[in-house]
């Protein structure tokens, strides 16, 4: 074997990609990602090249064009405003926080859901609901996407 056979891509990345493919995850390579505000294709391109993930710039981390409809499917009884509020909270800039605090906050949102205010049709006014981000009881209801080689820019 030559030294070129011992790359991170061959020894770590590709086996991980293959494993997630076996688990049924959608996959896309962002090596040649296209940017802009067009409608995303429902499925990543089979070639994984020239993919469109819905990001305007490389500084965006959350794939909002996939997140918003996924939250809508997991929370069909909540209004669009509640889903939009949850998207805003999940994609909020946490760069001023410490890494541990930001990670803890996002983990709690993923685990417990996002608190949102919705109209209370029975009593009037507003009430608090939680937008589920992950369906823990039925994992197949979740939207799984593996993105390889996604470049992120910004302050760290």
Residue 156 lies in a domain: no
How far is C-alpha 40 from the chain's CA centre? 14
Residues 6+ apart with CB under 8 A from 63: 53, 54, 55, 145, 147
Please report the pLDDT score of residue 85 as a whole number: 97
The total of structural domains in the chain comes to: 1
Query: Tell me: the pLDDT tens digits for 11-57?
Result: 889 999 999 999 999 988 888 888 876 555 544 444 444 567 888 88
For residue 155, tell me if it sits in a domain. no
* pLDDT score of 135 more than 90: yes
CA dihedral 104, 35, 30, 59 (to 10 degrees): -30
In a domain, 120, yes or no: yes
How high is the mean pLDDT of the chain?
A: 87
- Rounded distance, CA 96 to CA 70, Å? 28
3-state secondary structure 51-98: CECCCCCCCCCCCHHHHHHHHHHHCCCCCHHHHHHHHHHHCCCCCCCC
Query: What confidence score (pLDDT) does residue 37 get?
Result: 64
Is 87's pLDDT higher than 50? yes
List, in order, residues 6 or more apart from 108 with CB less than 8 Å away: none
Higher pLDDT, 16 or 156: 16
Residue-number span of the structural domain to which 107 is assigned: 3-148
Residues 6+ apart with CB under 8 A from 59: 152, 153, 154
Q: Which residues contact 72 (CB under 8 A, 6 or more apart)?
A: 80, 83
Is 10 a residue whose pLDDT tops 90?
no
In this structure, is residue 74 part of a structural domain?
A: yes
Does the model's pTM come out above 0.85?
A: no
Residue 47's pLDDT is: 44
Residue 6 has pLDDT above 90, yes or no: no
Residue 27 lies in a domain: yes
The pLDDT of residue 52: 77
- Closest by Cα among 99, 103, 108 to 134: 108
Mean pLDDT, residues 72-100: 95
Give the chain's end-to-end CA distance (angstroms, integer): 37
């Amino acid at each position: 074997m030559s030294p070129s056979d011992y790359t991170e891509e061959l020894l770590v990345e590709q086996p991980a990609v293959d494993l997630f493919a076996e688990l049924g995850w959608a996959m896309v390579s962002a090596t040649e990602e296209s940017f802009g505000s067009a409608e995303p294709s429902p499925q990543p391109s089979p070639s994984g090249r020239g993919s469109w993930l819905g990001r305007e710039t490389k500084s965006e981390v959350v794939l909002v064009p996939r997140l918003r409809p996924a939250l809508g499917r997991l929370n069909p009884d909540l209004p669009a405003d509640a889903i939009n509020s949850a998207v805003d909270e999940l994609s909020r800039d946490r760069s001023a926080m410490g890494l541990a605090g930001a990670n803890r906050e996002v983990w709690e949102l993923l685990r417990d859901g996002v608190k949102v205010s919705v109209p209370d049709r029975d009593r009037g006014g507003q009430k608090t609901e939680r937008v589920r981000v992950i369906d823990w009881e039925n994992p197949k209801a979740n939207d799984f996407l593996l993105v390889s080689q996604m470049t992120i820019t910004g302050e760290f």
